[in-house]
């Protein structure tokens, strides 16, 4: 008789644990969410970024350079999702590892690195034609920012 009483409670507990550990990104609440690195409000839909750990913990940033600087102390193997804003389509988040990056003084970013992400090398080359600057892959970008 007692086991029948505990079954629904145990089932509810398991359900709550499963729901609370979702490993998916939350939408950035522009103007309200704060950067996990510099604590500025995130307002720019063309430069915001985020990552989610394998345990489901969310980290949001106002600029790509803030996320890259935050990752210096982290192991990327512990992360499930890394996203950057698509400069060519503000508000759209794209995979940081497959994105292409342009550093151009003609495109200002919130923290002054003049760094923008786009979905493909072709888009980066289009931006480079329009604004000049240097194109990077994810690995090259991390190396460039760590050299400063």
The pLDDT assigned to 15 comes to 52
pLDDT digits (tens, 9 = 90+) for 61-92: 999 999 999 999 888 899 999 999 999 999 99
> Taking the mean position of all CA atoms in its chain, how far away is CA 29?
13
The pLDDT assigned to 19 comes to 53
The pLDDT assigned to 53 comes to 95
The pLDDT assigned to 122 comes to 97
The pLDDT assigned to 146 comes to 87
Per-domain residue ranges of the chain: 21-146
The pLDDT assigned to 2 comes to 59
The pLDDT assigned to 23 comes to 85
The pLDDT assigned to 104 comes to 97
DSSP code per residue over 29-88: -TTTSB-TTT--B---TTT-EEEEETT--EEEESSHHHHHHHHTTS-GGGEEEEEEE-TT
C-beta atoms surrounding 82 within 10 Å? 22
pLDDT < 50 positions in the chain: none
Give the SS3 label for residue 110.
coil
Give yes or no for a contact between 98 and 86, defined as CB atoms under 8 angstroms apart: no
Give the H/E segment covering residue 118.
strand 115-118
The pLDDT assigned to 51 comes to 97
Mean residue pLDDT of the chain comes to 90
- Would the pTM of this model clear 0.85, i.e. be above it? no
């Amino acid at each position: 008789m007692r086991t029948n009483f505990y079954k629904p409670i145990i089932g509810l507990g398991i359900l709550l644990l499963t729901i609370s550990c979702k490993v998916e990104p939350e939408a950035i609440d522009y103007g309200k969410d704060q950067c996990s690195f510099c604590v500025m409000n995130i307002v720019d839909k063309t430069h915001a970024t985020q990552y989610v750990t394998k345990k489901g913990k969310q980290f949001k940033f106002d600029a790509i350079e803030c996320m890259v600087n935050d990752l210096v102390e982290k192991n990327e193997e512990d992360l499930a999702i890394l996203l950057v804003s698509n400069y060519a389509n503000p508000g759209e988040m794209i995979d940081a590892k497959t994105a292409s990056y342009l550093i151009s003084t003609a495109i200002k970013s919130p923290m002054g690195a003049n760094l923008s992400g786009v979905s493909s090398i072709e888009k980066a080359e289009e931006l480079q034609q329009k604004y000049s600057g240097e194109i990077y892959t994810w690995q090259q970008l991390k190396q460039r920012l760590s050299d400063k």
